[in-house]
Amino acid sequence: MNEVRLTTRKWKWIGLLVITFAAAGLLSPWASSHPDGLERVAEDHGFLQQAGTVHEWAPIPDYEVAGIPWTVLRIGLAGVIGSVIMMAILWGALRSFTRIRRENDAGTNHGEEG
């Protein structure tokens, strides 16, 4: 059976997860407070005040988890949650691509003797 694997070194991936969560949870509270991206453009061109309020269903409004009294923990937890969401999306995409590749490989080898 043809199985696609990223690597057999699971400790490498565990180390990367620890570094990712440490950066997201411990460093994000001290990220730059200066606006970037669209917020910076809106500020530069004077239409930032027209943005209105954050949608009531926003999962992590303003990159902070609501209901936690400590700012550092609110922001750090938001970073960890964002990392988990991105990992889940990437894992799902990778699983989908490897499934498609296995199906394509099986289809091309169907008529061949081997």
pLDDT in tens, the chain (114 residues): 555 565 667 888 889 899 999 999 999 888 877 777 888 888 889 888 887 777 778 888 888 898 899 999 999 999 999 999 999 999 999 888 888 777 777 777 655 554
65 and 74 Cβ atoms separated by less than 8 Å? yes
Q: What is the pLDDT of residue 53?
A: 75
Domain ranges of the chain: 69-114
Q: Token pair of 105, please?
A: 């490989």
> For position 99, what pLDDT does the model report?
80
pTM score, two decimals?
0.67
